[in-house]
Every structure is written in structure tokens, then in C-alpha cells.
Amino acid sequence: MRLIPLLMMVVGASACGGATAESPLTVSLGGSHDATEQALKTHQFCLERSSSVIASQQKQQLYPRCGRTAAEHGDAWVIASYDGDRLVELRRYERYGDDNRAIERWNALVGARMKTSTPSDEALADLKSRGLVEPGTRSVKAFQAAAGTVVGVYLLTPSPPENANVLEKISYVK
């Protein structure tokens, strides 16, 4: 008789595994528009579509959070930048009305990224030497990703146009 509740718990727990909107982005640079759209969908970010625009010809695409039923403490979206049909940069912005919540989220994102990689002074130097440190940066941790790619996790002072507190940016550096 207890088998059904136990089975529901196991199925529910297995459905929670994998990428979520809160986990670090795992999208590799170099992919096509279509591949990027599919990869970001696994992170619960869905392409904003316009009937007058051909998606595969856009230099930048906006991916707001996919539809969800629960309330959240902040707002999050991704901007993908392309050179032709090749992804060259990915930015996930997060905006929070409460600075303490933003700091908590930045710490959580850095901690989650540190489970698969360690912060790198060399990666941070690459960001700085190429002028890739974002304006309004209060703190940044940089991680070496695939060859020639750096991930920066930024705690920002909100400023227009994004007014974001947290930024996770995947960039080519070489």
C-alpha cells in the first residue's frame, strides 16, 4: 500500500535532476541558433519570438524564463550573441529588488560553479586584459571553461539598461 507514495517520491526526485534556471549555464559557445535554443530550454529559458524576425539571422536573441507557475524573488533572462550562426557570447542577467538577496544569489551561483571548476586568477586576468569586466562590478569570480572560453560571475551595482544585480557571462578570450 505504501508503494504508490514511494514511487511518486522517486519519480518526483528524478525529475528534479539536471539543469535548472538557477544552476550555472552549461551551454557551449560555437553552437548554432537552434542548438543554443535547445540548450537554454533545458535551463528553463525560452526564446522570445517575433513573427517579423527570422531567428537564425539575429545577432542577438533574448531568452526570458519559460512560463512558470510559482512566484520568484527576482527576474532572470539570457542574451545570446552570434557571429553568423555561431554563438559567441552568453549573458544571464538576474535582477533582485533586495540587495541582500542579490548577494545571497551571487554566492550561491559562485558556489554551484565551484562544484565543477575552481576560480582562476588566469581567467580573471584574461577578462581584465581584454576589457571584459562589466561596468558596476562589485565583485567577480572567473572560471576557465573550454579552451579559449572564460565564465565570469559578477555581482553588480544595478544600472540601466539591465538594472541587474547578478550576471553570469560566458565569453571567448582567445
pLDDT at 22 over 90: no
Phi, psi of 86 (to 5 degrees): -125, 125
- CA atoms of 159 and 168, how far apart (whole Å): 16
The domain segmentation of the chain, as residue ranges, is 21-172
Q: What is the pLDDT of residues 73-111, one digit of tens each?
A: 788 999 999 999 999 999 999 999 999 999 999 999 999
Q: Pick the residue with more confidence: 19 or 166? A: 166
Query: How many other CB atoms are found less than 10 A from the CB of residue 75?
Result: 14
Residue whose C-alpha cell reads 536573441 in the numeric block = 61
pLDDT level of residue 8 (50, 70, 90 thresholds): very low
As a whole-number percent, the residues of the chain with pLDDT over 90 amount to 66
pTM: 0.83
- CA atoms of 149 and 147, how far apart (whole Å): 6
pLDDT at 174 over 80: no
Tell me the average pLDDT across 146-165.
92
Q: Pick the residue with more confidence: 86 or 67? A: 86
Query: How many other CB atoms are found less than 10 A from the CB of residue 111?
Result: 12
Q: Pick the residue with more confidence: 78 or 53? A: 78
pLDDT level of residue 119 (50, 70, 90 thresholds): very high
Q: What is the pLDDT of residues 138-153, one digit of tens each?
A: 999 999 988 889 999 9
Residue whose C-alpha cell reads 551561483 in the numeric block = 109
106, 155 Cβ separation under 8 angstroms = yes
pLDDT at 51 over 80: no
Burial class (CB in 10 A: 0-12, 13-18, 19+), 6: exposed
pLDDT level of residue 53 (50, 70, 90 thresholds): low
> Of 54-58, 61-65, 77-81, 154-158, which gets the smallest average pLDDT?
54-58
